[in-house]
A and B are shown apart, each in its own frame.
Chain A
């Protein structure tokens, strides 16, 4: 489908652009990690297993934790997006009451700190559900995932609303004059055009969620950061090991989020039409 380029405007309000990040920065980060490893090694002296070997030895466990982080982020993103699209449609509903409720929910979950929402989900959701005698356990990581899905929902709702409102109003009128119902206008004309505009901010959001998943360690879910401190304890709790270990975690997240940021930038540039 060819879209008329004239009517496409950049979705966002303007000046913000993701920075140009290149693989060089990954190399820089790796260098910083090596430097801290060197410093740690100098501090430990002889007779101690070299820091790099330690990192290597624990890599399978740490990466397992990292994969768990990714899993949490993906599930939270899926749940949050599904709920957020509904909420976003609620934000532009013709019914005043629906609009009001949707607006309140969006503002509520957008303006609360992620960590506080996480505590909210962890403490206020039950640890098991009972359905007619069947006990369904509700482990901590699912509660944490719900805690992440809440802000995702609110942010997605805003993205959806912004994208829909960026479509010129004339299209609604044109569809109406062609006897399209409101629902059909929305689903077959407006939303398909919105997908493109929503993609870059949505991917930015995903990157944010991925980086937020480490917060789960604060409320007692075992993920990468928890494993990092456990590995540190298993290695005898030497304080000079901490910088390389946390540097390793930083590197993992950088390697995962950097390509996403890069892709977002490319998509943003491709979809942007200067007017």
Chain B
């Protein structure tokens, strides 16, 4: 391992390509923790946004007019405003209005950390898109299929759970796929409120070592890798769920 690091040190001396994240232990640890922060942020936000999407799609099909309108307003609000402003609004705006609590040393600190605010605002942002995706999936299930299920003696709930939902999930997978990839890319915005994710850590490193081009290239490759993982995983899910005759 030491020889490997040594090689990168030699690379720096020979070519000027300064990859401190490989040979410098402090930078390496920073970058690894930044990478896992990004992964963690992505996973939590994906899970929460799917939950928001499912619940929202269910509420949108409600018989109460004001519930539907509320969901519609939520979607409109989060779709037509910049995600960065949303994050600022949550973190600075709402964060300032919340009361502060005292920690063990008696120093007041905010109730929610920047990481938690990032998770909340990013999940809501992606969730608003997911609501629409799931709803359109449910609507795309042919009415005749539901009628056929009813003719076979399914109850309303039974038809929904056993017939409509499995078909809807398969129909909306491509759109969901898109949205999740988008979400992974949007997590970089957490940089703006000092969540120590990959972009933030990279910025710290290039401020110290002034190796902007190297870190930039690394960042792009790292995000390609992450997006590639998501696409690969979603393709596997799609293949596993494949039913002949359904989907594109």
151-188 of chain B: CB within 8 A of chain A:
171-172, 174-175, 181, 185-188
Known pairs A13-B248, A113-B223, A124-B213; A240 contacts B97 (CB<8 A): yes
Q: What bracket does the count of chain A residues touching chain B fall in?
A: 35 or more
What secondary structure prevails in chain B residues at the interface with A? Answer: helix
Contact A124 B77 (CB under 8 A): no
Q: Does A74 contact B (CB under 8 A)?
A: no
Known pairs A21-B76, A119-B216; A254 contacts B81 (CB<8 A): yes
Contact B77 A28 (CB under 8 A): yes
Q: Which of A75-83, A85-93, A208-216, A266-274 contacts B (4 or more CB under 8 A)?
A: A208-216
Contact A243 B76 (CB under 8 A): no
107-132 of chain A: CB within 8 A of chain B:
108, 111-116, 119-120, 123-124
Q: What bracket does the count of chain B residues touching chain A fall in?
A: 35 or more
Chain B residues, Cβ within 8 Å of A14:
140, 171, 174, 248
Contact A246 B93 (CB under 8 A): yes
Known pairs A16-B133, A124-B212, A246-B92; A225 contacts B85 (CB<8 A): yes
Offer 28 A-B interface pairs, CB within 8 angstroms, sorted by A: A15-B133, A15-B137, A15-B140, A15-B171, A15-B174, A15-B175, A16-B136, A21-B79, A29-B77, A36-B93, A36-B97, A43-B97, A111-B227, A112-B185, A112-B224, A113-B186, A115-B191, A116-B188, A119-B203, A124-B213, A211-B80, A211-B81, A214-B82, A247-B93, A250-B81, A250-B82, A250-B85, A257-B81
| Chain A residues packing against B (C-beta within 8 Å) | 13-22, 24-25, 28-29, 32, 36, 39-40, 43, 108, 111-116, 119-120, 123-124, 207, 210-215, 217-218, 225, 239-240, 242-247, 249-250, 253-254, 257-258, 261
